[in-house]
Amino acid sequence: MIRKVFIIDDDEISLYLTSLILESVDYAQEIHTFMTADDAFASLLQLHYSNMPEVILLDLNMPTKSGWDFLDMLSMYEEKLQNKTCIYILTSSIAECDKSKSETYPLVNGFLHKPLDEDSLDLIARTCPRDRD
């Protein structure tokens, strides 16, 4: 079981459904939801590196700061997060340019489409080791 998951999405229904899916499969001990990239980033800054979320599910299209902005803010912490946190884009975007752009961010482990489903959870299990340093 994953210890901690952050879900960042400006849509309350998406936050609720994603949380519900994770809870239904007993995926994580803690699920934290954020409606803005700024709130999630502030929360990350308050955590010790040993208590980082193992998985972050990140929406791209959000007002004020997008998922891309969030990834850019994290870039200065990339080295410290590299073996602590796996980030997955969870989006309704079907634009190939978004998927391609996500591949340029070393912290991004995958590009998933909403809603979260069994295939997405399988991908996370394969690409994000549960035994994090």
Taking only the tens of pLDDT, the chain with its 133 residues reads 889 999 999 999 999 999 999 999 999 999 999 999 999 999 999 988 788 999 999 999 999 999 999 999 999 998 888 888 999 999 999 999 999 999 999 999 999 999 999 999 999 989 986 554 4
**Residue 133, domain member (yes or no):** no
Range of the domain at 47: 8-115
Q: Determine if the pTM surpasses 0.85.
A: yes
Question: Where is 45: in which H helix or E strand?
Answer: helix 37-46
Give the 3-state secondary structure of residue 117. coil
Q: Which pair of tokens denotes residue 3? A: 């210890």
How does DSSP assign 73-98, residue by residue? HHGGGHHHHTTT-EEEEEES---HHH
pLDDT at 46: 92
Number of domains in the chain: 1
Domain CATH for 80:
3.40.50.2300
pLDDT at 133: 45
**Residue 125, domain member (yes or no):** no
**Residue 62, domain member (yes or no):** yes
